[in-house]
Amino acid sequence: MFQSANTGVAEKTVARETKMKLTIRKQSRLAERLLLKSLALTSVSIFLATTAFAVPQASPPAGVPYTPDKPVITMSRKSPAPTPAPASQPASDWDRFRKSRQREQLLSSTIDNDHEDAGIETKGEKMTSDSSTSQGAFGVTYTGVFAVHAVYSSDDFHLQLPPSATRTQTLFAATTRPPNGSCLEVGTSYTTDLGATTTKAAIYVYDFCKSNHSDWGIAPFPVNGKEPIYVDSNFMKTYAGAKIQSTPAYSLMIFTKDYPLSSDSTWYAQIFNYQTKQWDTLYKSTGLFDLDPRGWSIFETWFQQGQCSESLPFLGAEQLAYYNSSSGKWDPVKPDMVVLKNEVSHGGSQNNNCFTDDHTGPASYQIQAVSPEYASWRVVSR
């Protein structure tokens, strides 16, 4: 009997131990499951966190143009070279444009050639040479310009000749140059030759710092068998990826990396390639044209006497900005930028025909600028 009692106690003890072991196993398995679940959730979180940075940015909605970033320009110093001096040029049809770029002649006018311009203009900063150096360096603030130009192909633009025309008719719009002695100017020319039924559109670069005199860097007409940069379907597809309203436009920069400015400064004219998303260098030149520190973004005519070309589509520029070499930023053009002032040229006293009312009828063109900011302008036909 005593043995039977002991046997019963032993059996109960074994049962309790067995039950306890089973409970411990269940708890262990539950803990393992919870741990595995936690690890799985952590792995998913880590995966999402690491792959989120690999997801490409969404493309802009259809119809919204891609706007290139304005890059930071790293400034450097260079030794000086002799400053090129301008020289007078004969006044042929294309030479009139060249001659107007000589010292203090941009805003001149002639009754015969009807040179008119309107847009955003500045006299530039006061360019005082540093007498403490032998380089004659100029420590100005602004050393570049960014702009977006409206552009039309030859198929979409017609510049009419007046009935009494005896030579080529040319319009430069838009054409842009940074202030403070820049060597370069970039724009679009629209030219109708005598007897022609179409207008040729081309991109040009004008070089104020050519070794002998100011002249074309890239001419808007054939030179020595070399064709200009015509605004054709290939140009429109490659470079005219911006928009001003619904009109195609191209983005450009003119700048120098050299500071302070001197006659050894190298200037670059670049245009944004919307296919490669890179800036293409059109042209570069070395020098400093401090004889004319002005800057501009304008609509400029070289018309003959008679009716101004009618029914032109609007022309203009947007997103005008100067490169601030002190801050390393692009400053939108404003009326008062502390070190320089900008103004809207409504044509000026030299504009005797296209921008003013006269006895023949109302003005053919009107300049429109976004006020109070001067970062854009347009010329519209009435």
Q: How far apart are CA 5 and CA 123, in angstroms?
A: 118
In the numeric block, the tokens 């792995």 are attached to 43
Please check whether residues 243 and 103 belong to one and the same domain: yes
| Per-residue pLDDT tens digits for 186-243 | 999 999 999 999 999 999 999 999 987 899 999 999 999 999 999 999 999 999 999 9
Residues 6+ apart with CB under 8 A from 115: 96, 100, 108, 109, 300, 301, 302, 350
Q: How far apart are CA 135 and CA 261, in angstroms?
A: 10
Please check whether residues 43 and 142 belong to one and the same domain: no
Please check whether residues 327 and 231 belong to one and the same domain: yes
Is 160 inside any structural domain? yes
Q: How far apart are CA 157 and CA 169, in angstroms?
A: 13
Q: pLDDT exceeding 90 applies to what percent of the chain?
A: 50
Residue 66 has which token pair?
Answer: 């891609």
| pLDDT, averaged across the chain | 78
Please check whether residues 194 and 286 belong to one and the same domain: yes
Please check whether residues 105 and 244 belong to one and the same domain: yes
Which is nearest to 102 in space by CA: 116, 90, 122, 86? 86
Mean pLDDT of 22-50: 43
Is 258 inside any structural domain? yes
Which structural domain, as residue segments, surrounds residue 138? Answer: 95-381
Q: How far apart are CA 328 and CA 320, in angstroms?
A: 16
Report pLDDT for 83: 35
Please check whether residues 213 and 275 belong to one and the same domain: yes
More confident residue, 64 or 106: 64
Is 74 inside any structural domain? no
Please check whether residues 165 and 111 belong to one and the same domain: yes
Please check whether residues 14 and 134 belong to one and the same domain: no
Please check whether residues 46 and 103 belong to one and the same domain: no
Report pLDDT for 95: 63
Q: At 209, is the secondary structure helix, strand, or coil?
A: coil
| Per-residue pLDDT tens digits for 152-190 | 999 999 999 888 888 899 999 999 999 999 999 999 999
Please check whether residues 118 and 41 belong to one and the same domain: no
More confident residue, 284 or 97: 284
Please check whether residues 50 and 146 belong to one and the same domain: no
Report pLDDT for 66: 59
Number of structural domains found in the chain? 2
Please check whether residues 36 and 180 belong to one and the same domain: no
